[in-house]
Amino acid sequence: MLVGASIYYSGGSPGGKGIKLGSMGTVSARYSRSIYNSCVELGCPESALQSVFQSAPDCFNDPTARFDKRLLIDMLHEAEAATGNSAIGLQAGSQFRPSTFLDIGYGLIACQNLREALAFNYQYQRLTQEIGRTSVVVDGDIARIKWCTQIEDAEYVRPATEAAFAGYAVLGRWLTWDSKAKVRAMYFRHDKVAHGQLCESLFQCPVHFNAEQDVMELDAETLLRPMPQANAALLAHLRVRLDRALAEFEGGVGVRARVRDIIQQLLIDAGQDNAVPDLINVAAILNMNERTLRRRLTEEGVTFREVLTEARQEACEIYLKERRWTVAELAQMLGYSEHSAFSRAFKKWFGMPPSQYVG
């Protein structure tokens, strides 16, 4: 993994102390990896993208890593140049799904309506990216979703802006289960693009360029339609986790928090394969040796096994509130190969066996 000026770690350099990142203007590793993978799927050679990051794609493996926001924009421009496809940002954004954003994505699903989802996104958006902020203004029967960025050069930030709005259009339809939900109009600050017809096809509305602001207009009533997977209990639980993550983001993350986040990411990636993250895996992602990681955790008063248990319990709480997994599936997703071991852990966490809780 590259450690240098192009990558900022939310916990500082692997051997150093935590640093603040709130004012740097960064993007998360998961958000970057999603766009990276989309560019590759759209035909961009990985070598072209790696030339921007000066590293192989394993630089995205640490979910606590942060990248300078301009690196992501440069990567999109490089992908356009390598493929001759000016719409690559738009197409990458259309691949966004709630899972792209982990806790924030799960929170969007759990909101009561799109207006609540947009407010939720605004509150925690910096955890994903600091390229721009999204706000919503309702004026009579029209709602305007505005994208504001500190980058004045509209042409430079164009592919990231198109990716953001493509994500809003696709995610909005996904969240409401309404594939025919229409946008009234799209306004972009940048010049007219060669892929204008593709823009109109994706947004299903007239698209205007050289506008004063980057804005999506839609019917105000669309924001208030009940969402089919609203879950107040899950949303409240996610807010606690995201508030903690935001505080860590602004104040500097310790090793314990980074290890916890990496373990949870590894559990998600493993799915139901019963794979258990170990000290060796996590140390490699953090570009540390095992002894150093063990010592850093000891300095924070915790062992790797304790952080593993903490990560499993937090993940289990979210899965339970989703209310769609069997006990056997829960055990597998948390890396337990034996049901008895999962049952013992579950009873310690929640004071009852999983069959009683789930049932």
**Structural domain boundaries in the chain:** 7-224, 254-358
Q: Is the pLDDT of residue 15 over 50?
A: no
Measured CA to CA in angstroms, residue 264 lies from 31, 235, 260 at distances of 16, 18, 6
When the pLDDT of each residue in the chain is averaged and rounded to a whole number, the result is 87
Q: Which of 84-93, 184-193, 307-316 has the lowest mean pLDDT?
A: 307-316
- Tell me how far apart the alpha carbons of residues 49 and 74 are, in angstroms, rounded to a whole number: 9
What topology is assigned to 254-358 in CATH?
Arc Repressor Mutant, subunit A (1.10.10)
pLDDT given for residue 12 in this prediction: 39
Compute and round to an integer the Cα radius of gyration of the chain.
Answer: 21
Q: Determine the average pLDDT of the residues in 316-322.
A: 81
pLDDT given for residue 13 in this prediction: 36
pLDDT given for residue 24 in this prediction: 61
- Tell me how far apart the alpha carbons of residues 128 and 151 are, in angstroms, rounded to a whole number: 17
Q: What percent of the chain has pLDDT over 90?
A: 59
pTM value surpassing 0.75: yes
Q: Could you tell me how far CA 33 lies from the centroid of its own chain?
A: 10
Please count the residues of the chain. Answer: 359
b/e per residue, 30-41, with b = 16+ CB within 10 A?
bbbbbbbbbbee
Q: Could you tell me how far CA 91 lies from the centroid of its own chain?
A: 17
Confidence of residue 215 (pLDDT cuts 50, 70, 90): very high
Q: Is 204 left (phi over 0), alpha (psi -120 to 50) or beta?
A: left
Residue 175: name the closest of 238, 229, 233, 128 by CA.
229
Beta carbons of 51 and 21 less than 8 angstroms apart: no
> Exposed, middle or buried, 225 (CB in 10 Å: 0-12/13-18/19+)?
middle
Q: Determine the average pLDDT of the residues in 129-133.
A: 95
CATH hierarchy code of domain 7-224: 3.90.1520
- Tell me how far apart the alpha carbons of residues 166 and 179 are, in angstroms, rounded to a whole number: 14
pLDDT given for residue 17 in this prediction: 34
- Tell me how far apart the alpha carbons of residues 313 and 336 are, in angstroms, rounded to a whole number: 12
Question: What are the residues facing 26 on neighbouring strands?
Answer: 68
- Tell me how far apart the alpha carbons of residues 154 and 210 are, in angstroms, rounded to a whole number: 9
Q: Is the pLDDT of residue 9 over 60?
A: no
pLDDT given for residue 35 in this prediction: 95
Measured CA to CA in angstroms, residue 173 lies from 109, 128, 164, 314 at distances of 11, 21, 14, 29
Q: Is the pLDDT of residue 80 over 80?
A: yes
pLDDT tens digit sequence for 139-153: 999 999 999 998 999
